[in-house]
Amino acid sequence: MSDDRASRRLPVLISIVVALMLAIAPMPNWAIPFRPDWVALVLIYWSMNLPRTYSVGHAWLIGIVLDVAHGTLLGQHALVLSCVVYVTIKFHLQLRLYPVSQMALTIVPLLGLYEFLLFWINGVAGIHAPLATYWGPVLTSALLWPLVTLVLRTVPYRSRASHM
């Protein structure tokens, strides 16, 4: 039973680890304000497609890992990713109806919420950064959504319902 459960979750966990690696990969200084929110994109995708398996608790744990990796306030990304995943799960049935091109436009408010909450938390903590570091990733992430969707659709996963 536990081997079967692990075999179902391993491809998804690998995609999350790859997203974490992309989130901390070095970039040229001119490109840093436009770094896509890889972790948010991957979590939005999995919470939209497997809402009962990957939910707010997983987002919280992955956010803590991202906080430690970035060296930011502990709990900052955890709180923000949890909020974004909650909204995604709340509207996952409506979001999944759109074709990928239109879904990229519906992802923009989720990513905007992600960046706004980060901006707000940093403002409360007295951490100031240029606005491009908050709103540049929304644009690049929305543009990369079709590619992320295309890649993650090839990941072989089995939901709990298909196994029963």
Q: How far apart are CA 28 and CA 24, in angstroms?
A: 12
Q: How does pLDDT run across 8-53, given as a tens digit for each residue?
A: 788 899 999 999 999 999 999 999 999 999 999 999 999 999 998 8
- List, in order of start, the domains of the chain with CATH numbers: 2-163 (1.10.1760)
What confidence tier does 160 reach under pLDDT thresholds 50, 70, 90?
low
| 133: region left, alpha or beta (phi > 0 left; psi from -120 to 50 alpha) | alpha
Q: How would residue 164 be classed by pLDDT, with cut points 50, 70 and 90?
A: very low
Average pLDDT over residues 133-154: 93
pLDDT tens for each residue of 50-61: 998 888 999 999
CA atoms within 13 A on the CB side of 131: 1
Predicted confidence band of residue 133 (pLDDT cuts 50, 70, 90): confident
pLDDT (0 to 100) of residue 53: 87
**What percent of the chain clears pLDDT 90, i.e. is strictly above it?**
73
Give the model confidence (pLDDT) of 70-108 as tens digits. Answer: 999 999 999 999 999 999 999 999 988 899 889 999 899
